[in-house]
């Protein structure tokens, strides 16, 4: 049976890119694989990007990220769901991988270059991020990693680290594969450029727990097909951010209405955006209701995370011990 691992950083409110690119897949795979699917709020990664980290908010954001995933359908009874820093073997295994990972490999990671490029001083942790990520995955000997396209390069590096470790110390780890949600590889942000990211700030994201009136304020002013200057001009929904979001949220009849309407100038951009808001409301309102119920019962969430950390550790400890012994450390 496949073993799944994936993580999400508590660097801000989860957005529709996280939801369609990763979180929905967690739920789907969890339904199929039960306790062989392991999900984690990766709080140790959050401080690697100083522009998205504040010690005052880390604990609350970690809790909120857990709530968001549970509200989106992740059932902690069914899967293993926990907070990364509650299982110390993640950082311990990361060290064993640090000593076998070439710095040059880390320096060519696109995410490192993107994030480091925006900082005055780059913490070593940002460079080491993919090594910790490899430890997150391999600590559970996971072979399947549901992620968005931006993480594929990191999973490739995880494979390489597993290969190197196995070669140096004997066969220990599988070489995991990324699994992508083909219709949600890289959801663009509201600025229309690149991918939606928590760390780029809320002005460019649509949060899955964001109040619907706030979402509407953002949609109202969001850019559309730049070639459609007047209401009477035909547009190209494939070159429009709102068209991209419709593909994620709308059912077939609505999609036909807006695609046909846009191409023939039969529908204006504001009406098209209103239809999008309707589709978003259908998907997000039930999630927001469940989130409110979970927030009203924080002990339930905390107990679930505590139990999740116990279940995770029961797998992680023997795997770390195996790796530690193979590397040659003294055992007493």
- Fill in the DSSP letter of residue 238: G
Rule CB under 6 A: say whether 94 interacts with ligand ATP.
no
115 labelled catalytic: yes
Please choose, from the candidates 229, 231, 226, 225, the residue with its C-alpha nearest in 3D space to the C-alpha of residue 243.
225
The region of 94-102, 130-138, 145-153, 278-286 touching ligand ATP under the rule CB under 6 A is 145-153
Of 3, 4, 5, 11, the residue at the interface with ligand ATP (CB under 6 A) is: 11
- Is there a contact between 70 and 76 (Cβ–Cβ < 8 Å)? yes
Kindly report the length of the chain. Answer: 332
29 binds ligand ATP (CB under 6 A): no
| 250 binds ligand ATP, rule: CB under 6 A | no
Q: Which of residues 45-84 bind ligand ATP (CB under 6 A)?
A: 52
Q: Give the CB-side neighbour count of residue 53, counting CA atoms within 13 A.
A: 16
Of 113, 141, 195, 247, which is the active-site residue?
A: 195
Per CB under 6 A, does 262 bind ligand ATP?
no
Candidate segments 124-132, 197-205, 275-283, 300-308, binder of ligand ATP by CB under 6 A: 197-205
> Residue 318 CB, nearest distance to ligand ATP (Å)?
27
Does residue 195 have an active-site annotation? yes
Cα separation, 278 vs 53, in Å, equals: 33
Q: Which of 61, 86, 195, 228 binds ligand ATP (CB under 6 A)?
A: 195
CA–CA gap between residue 272 and residue 128 (Å, rounded): 44
Sign, CA torsion 316/42/283/191? negative
Size of the residue set binding ligand ATP (CB under 6 A): 20
Q: What is the DSSP letter of 189?
A: P
Q: Identify which range of 78-86, 196-204, 243-251, 301-309 contacts ligand ATP by CB under 6 A.
A: 196-204
Q: Which residue has the tokens 């005052």?
A: 56
132 makes contact with ligand ATP (CB under 6 A): no
Task: Tell me whether residue 208 or residue 312 sits nearer to ligand ATP (CB atom).
Answer: 208
Q: How far is the CB of 133 from ligand ATP (least distance, A)?
A: 10
Rounded CA-CA distance 218/35 in Å is 39
Kindly report the number of other CB atoms within 10 A of residue 199's CB atom: 16
Given the rule CB under 6 A, which of 192-200, 206-214, 260-268, 321-329 is the region that contacts ligand ATP?
A: 192-200
Residue 319 corresponds to which tokens in the numbers above?
């795997």
- Residue with tokens 């504001």, as numbered in its chain: 270
Between CA 245 and CA 196 the distance in angstroms is: 12
Binding residue for ligand ATP, selected from 3, 5, 13, 21, defined by CB under 6 A: 21
Tell me how many degrees the CA angle 81-67-188 measures, rounded to the nearest 5. 95
Q: Which of 300, 280, 288, 306 is nearest to 71 (CA)?
A: 288
Question: In this chain, which of 147, 242, 248, 284 binds ligand ATP, going by CB under 6 A?
Answer: 147
Select from 198, 228, 246, 273 the one that contacts ligand ATP (CB under 6 A). 198
For helices 110-117 and 152-169, give the axis angle rounded to 10 degrees.
120
Q: CB of 197: closest distance to ligand ATP in angstroms?
A: 3
128 annotated to a ligand binding site: no
> 218 an active-site residue?
no
Residues assigned a catalytic role: 115, 195, 198
Interface residues toward ligand ATP, by CB under 6 A = 8-9, 11, 17-18, 21-22, 52, 147-148, 150-151, 184, 186-187, 195-199
């Amino acid at each position: 049976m496949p073993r799944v691992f994936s993580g999400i950083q508590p660097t801000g409110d989860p957005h529709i890119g996280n939801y369609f690119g990763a979180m929905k897949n967690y739920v789907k795979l969890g339904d199929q694989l039960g306790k062989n699917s392991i999900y984690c709020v990766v709080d140790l990664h959050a401080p690697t990007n100083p522009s998205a980290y504040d010690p005052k908010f880390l604990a609350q954001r970690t809790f909120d990220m857990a709530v968001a995933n549970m509200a989106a359908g992740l059932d902690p009874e069914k899967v293993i769901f926990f907070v990364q820093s509650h299982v110390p073997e993640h950082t311990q295994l990361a060290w064993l991988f640090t000593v076998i990972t070439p710095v040059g490999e880390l320096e060519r990671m696109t995410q490192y270059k993107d994030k480091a490029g925006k900082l005055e001083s780059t913490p070593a942790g940002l460079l080491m991020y993919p090594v910790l990520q490899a430890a997150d995955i391999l600590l559970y000997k996971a072979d399947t990693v549901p992620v968005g396209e931006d993480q594929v390069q990191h999973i490739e590096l995880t494979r390489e680290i597993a290969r190197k470790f196995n070669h140096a110390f004997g066969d220990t780890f599988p070489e995991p594969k990324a699994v992508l949600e083909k219709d949600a590889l890289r959801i663009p942000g509201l600025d229309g450029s690149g991918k939606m990211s928590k760390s780029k700030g809320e002005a460019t994201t649509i949060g899955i727990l964001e109040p619907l009136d706030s979402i509407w304020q953002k949609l109202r002013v969001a850019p559309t097909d730049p070639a459609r200057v007047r209401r009477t001009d035909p547009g190209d929904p494939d070159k429009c951010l709102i068209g991209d979001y419709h593909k994620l949220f709308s059912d077939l009849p609505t999609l036909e209405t807006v695609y046909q309407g846009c191409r023939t100038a039969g529908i204006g951009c504001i009406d098209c955006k209103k239809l999008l808001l309707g589709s978003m409301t259908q998907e997000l309102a039930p999630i927001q209701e469940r989130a409110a119920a979970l927030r009203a019962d924080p002990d339930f969430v905390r107990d679930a995370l505590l139990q999740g950390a116990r279940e995770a550790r029961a797998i992680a400890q023997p795997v770390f011990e195996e790796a530690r012994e193979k590397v040659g450390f003294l055992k007493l």
